Amino acid sequence: MSAQPRRKYTLEEYFELERTSDARYEYWDGQVFDMSDVSKEHAQIEMNISIHLGSRLMDQGCRLYPANMRIKVPSLPPYRYGDLSALCGEAIFEEIGGVDMLINPAMIIEVLSSSTESYDRGDKFTHYKSIPSFREYLLVAQHRPHITQFIKHSEDTWLQHEFNDLNDIVYLKSMDCRLELNHIYRNIAFSSDKITLVRD
Alpha helices in 21-106 (DSSP H): 40-59
Give the range of the structural domain holding residue 114, as residue numbers without chain letter: 39-190
Q: Do residues 44 and 33 both lie within one domain?
A: no
The one-digit pLDDT tens for each residue of the chain (200 residues) are 444 446 789 988 999 998 888 888 889 888 888 887 789 999 999 999 999 999 899 888 999 999 999 999 999 999 999 999 999 999 999 998 888 999 999 999 999 988 889 989 999 999 999 999 999 999 999 999 999 999 999 988 999 999 999 999 999 999 999 999 999 999 999 876 444 433 33
Q: Do residues 55 and 24 both lie within one domain?
A: no
Q: Do residues 60 and 85 both lie within one domain?
A: yes
Q: Do residues 82 and 20 both lie within one domain?
A: no
Count Cβ atoms below 10 Å from residue 155 Cβ, excluding itself.
6
Q: Do residues 109 and 27 both lie within one domain?
A: no
Count Cβ atoms below 10 Å from residue 135 Cβ, excluding itself.
18
Count up the domains in the chain and report the number. Answer: 2
Interatomic CA distance for residues 89 and 195, integer angstroms? 40
The arrangement of strands across the sheet holding 80-81 comes to 80-81, 70-71, 99-102, 93-96
pTM summary value = 0.88
